[in-house]
Each structure stands twice: as structure tokens, then as C-alpha cells.
Amino acid sequence: MIKHLRIDNRLIHGQVAVTWKNHIGAQAIIVCNDQVAADPIQKMALPMAARGSKVLVYSIAETIQYAKDHPSETMFVICKFPSDALQIIESGLEIADVNVGNAAPIAGTKYVMVTKSIAATAEDAAVYRKIAELRGGKLRSRLTPANEEIDFLKALADAGL
């Protein structure tokens, strides 16, 4: 089961490799993005960022298939973009928790800083709202388990998105 799905375009870093994985009790970290999964350098480097952990770097389709094939495994899925997360959610997999973590600004896009660590475009905001709709009308953001969670839909609205 996917115990925690995090949207974080930085993928694996200290917050993820140590804090979140331990908090969740995940048996596997799955980095989920089609372009990252097709990049042999990232496929080799990302597991090194979480030494001692089972790290899989998969496309969206591979992530869905893996989760279906391993229903008793506790998984922590990190999606690079909200569109990746939406596809996982729309697949109908059981997902206990969805969290917007970090989204560094992408050069050349018309982004707005929603929080200190999350940039979003109008297109991203629409995807986040669709995710919330599929998750009972709620979506939260929390950097680490020690941080207070925020209502991400309210943060989007407050940022003018």
C-alpha cells in the first residue's frame, strides 16, 4: 500500500531520505516520474541519496504496476510533479496520505510562490485542485513530520491561484 505520496520536485534529499521515510515506516521509496525513470544517471544516483533504503526509480506506469503487485509492502512514493501524483491517484490505488512537499520554481514558467518552498503555476493549481477533489476535497502541505501542516488549497487561494 502507498502509505505516503509526496509531491516534491527535489525528489530524494535529507527530509525524504531520513525524516519522512522513518516517520512513515516505509519499506520502499519509489521515485515516480517518466523522465527521471528514463534517465540512467538519475536512476543510478537517486538510490545513493538514501543509502540503506530500498529505492526504486520508476515511471508512472511502473509505479502503478509495482504497487498492484506488492499490496502488503509499505511504500513511500515521491512524485516529481503534481501531474505525476494525479495519475497515481486516478489509478485507484490505495493511498493513505498525500502531501505537497516542495516545488522549486521552474525557470521559464509563470509561477507564483505559494509558500516559501512551493512554487506553482495556474496549471499546477488546477492539478492540485483535482487531486484534492479526488481526496475528499482536502490537500495538505507539510515539509517534515515536525512541521505544522497547512491547508494547501487555502494557500493556493491566498497566493492568487
Cross-strand partners of 100: 7, 141
**pLDDT confidence of residue 51:** 82
Report pLDDT digits (tens) over 66-105: 999 999 999 999 999 999 999 999 999 999 999 999 999 9
CA distances in angstroms from 1 to 29, 123, 139, 144, 160, listed in the order given: 12, 29, 19, 21, 35
- pLDDT interval class at 50 (50, 70, 90): confident
Q: What is the mean pLDDT of the chain?
A: 95
To the query of whether residue 4 is one of the catalytic residues in this protein, the response is no
Separation of CA 65 from chain center:
17
Q: Determine the topology of domain 2-158 in CATH.
A: Fructose Permease (3.40.35)
pLDDT at 33: 98
* The pLDDT of residue 86: 98
What is the distance between the alpha carbons of residues 78 and 121, in angstroms, rounded to a whole number? 20
Q: Tell me the percentage of the chain whose pLDDT exceeds 90.
A: 90
Return the C-alpha cell found at 74. 509499505
Average confidence (pLDDT) over 31-45: 97
All cell numbers assigned to 97 = 496520505
